[in-house]
Amino acid sequence: LGLTTRPGEKGEMHVVPVPLPLVSGLSSVRINIPPDLRPPEARQNILFAVQELGKRYPQGLPKLHPINDMGIQEPELVDLVHKLQDLEQKQCSHRLHKSGQSEQELSWYQRKADLNSEIQQLKSKMRDSQLQKFRDELRNRSRVLKILGHIDADGVLQLKGRAACLIDTGDELLITELMFNGTFNDLDHHQVASLASCFVPCDKSSEQIRLRNELSRPMMQLQEAARKIAEVQRECKLEVNVEEYVESTCRPYLMDVIYCWSSGQS
């Protein structure tokens, strides 16, 4: 049944179809519908009954409660009903519910919500981008370790890799490379101590470094090993400047002093 006029005006009741999407709610109040609604008097009686209900329930007709009225006790439905009641209560108590500028303020709030959603999406993309960058770098570093022989093709740690894990000072890759390429084999203990001083952190000296003959060849071997490691890293798409890497890892500033100290010279 539908009323063709506005509230307070006289009109005539008609039987009209109502699509289900237009139904916003169901009431627990029921009125008796005559079996035949073709006579105008029958439809008019329905109008009187509806108007009487409006007077009896000025705040609106009570809604059909699925728990109290229908006796549904499923836990999931009960939980949803309670959540719906809480949301409706919050909606009614919100200041926009009775605000004269509710439409405008609601559009502002919707704009704010859209911007917050866009911000969250951008942050998510940033995290995904950083994570992908980390994965790419991890894959490239794994390739470096495979080429240098620290791990095998299956990623299993090898003897060279175990040795590198035990080094807690200096450049692990470079020191391990010197150990396994035989650099220390032909050096006496004075040269070994002098070469090890290259891994001691110290300030860069502006003075020209002149190494004695006993230290020139070990220093050259150190630089060759450092250059090899840097080139491998660059080939594996890591951001490495070869010359800067060699200069930062091969510091000969204390070599001559340590050699003199080790050999007992004053």
As a whole number of angstroms, the distance between CA 212 and CA 181 comes to 23
Beta bridge partners of 15: none
Contact present, 172 and 144 (Cβ < 8 Å): no
Q: Determine the 3-state secondary structure of 48 from DSSP.
A: helix
Of 209, 181, 173, 206, which Cα lies nearest the Cα of 194? 209
Contact 181, 158 (CB under 8 A): no
Residue 31 lies in a domain: yes
Q: Is residue 56 part of a domain?
A: yes
Q: Specify whether 255 is located in the same domain as 166.
A: yes
Strand partners for 13:
3
Burial 147-178 (b: 16+ CB within 10 A, else e): ebebbeeeeeeeebbeebeeeeeebbbbbbbb
User: How far from 31 is each of 16, 59, 64, CA to CA, in Å?
Assistant: 18, 18, 14
Helical axes 213-235 vs 189-196, angle rounded to 10°: 50
What is the pTM for the complete model shown? Answer: 0.51
Lookup: tokens for 112: 């704010």
91 and 176 fall within a common domain: no
- Domain span at 168: 159-262
104 located within any domain: no
Q: Are residues 167 and 81 in the same domain?
A: no
**DSSP track, 97-112:** GG-TTHHHHHHHHHHH
What whole-number distance in Å separates Cα of residue 24 and Cα of residue 11? 24
Tokens 């060759």 identify what position? 224
User: Domain ends where: 58, 79, 95?
Assistant: 95
Residue 153 lies in a domain: no
Q: Name the nearest CA neighbour of 178 among 233, 231, 221.
A: 221
Domain boundary among 77, 95, 113: 95
Specify if 118 maps to a domain: no
Report the domain count for the chain.
2
Cβ burial, residue 13 (10 Å; 0-12/13-18/19+): buried
| Token code pair at residue 241 | 């400047």
Residue 264: what pLDDT? 86
- What value does the CA radius of gyration of the chain take, rounded to a whole number of Å? 42
DSSP category for residue 13: E
Q: Does residue 9 fall inside a structural domain?
A: yes
- Asked, for residue 8, whether it belongs to a domain, the answer is yes
Q: Which of 51, 71, 95 is the last residue of a domain?
A: 95
| 180 and 257 co-located in one domain | yes
173: domain CATH number is 1.10.3380.30
Same domain, 258 and 163: yes
144 part of a folded domain: no
CA distance 215 to 227: 18
Residues of the chain with pLDDT under 50: 1, 3-4
